[in-house]
Amino acid sequence: KVKPQLEEKEGKTFDVFTAVEFKTQVVAGTNYFIKVHVGNDEFMHLRVFRSLPHENKPLSLHSYQSSKMKHDELTFF
């Protein structure tokens, strides 16, 4: 659901977009930190926010880190 948001921010499309790992952080909603394979040996780390259910808001791409490798540790950012 956040792929189009990332493609818009990056100004390109991703043929490969596969989540390979994730962590969560409970706040006033939930932050998801997701390692995504975007093709070749390239990975990106995404921070996606899901609001509380009663707010009824869509998932939002809060921030991301590009130029990551498969072995890079997924950390909170």
Which sequence spans correspond to the domains of the chain? 1-69
If you average pLDDT over residues 34-59, what whole number do you get?
Answer: 94
Q: What is the pLDDT of residues 2-45, one digit of tens each?
A: 999 999 999 999 999 999 999 999 999 999 999 999 999 999 99
Say if CB 52 and CB 59 are below 8 A apart. no
The CA distance from 45 to 68, in Å, is 7
Query: What's the rounded mean pLDDT across residues 45-58?
Result: 93
Q: Which pLDDT score, from 0 to 100, does residue 63 have?
A: 96
Judge whether residue 1 has pLDDT over 90: no
Q: In what order do the strands lie in the sheet with 42-50?
A: 18-27, 29-39, 42-50, 60-68
- 44 neighbors 64 (Cβ within 8 angstroms): yes
CB 57 within 8 A of CB 33: no
Which whole number is the average pLDDT over 49-74?
93
- Whole-structure pTM value: 0.87
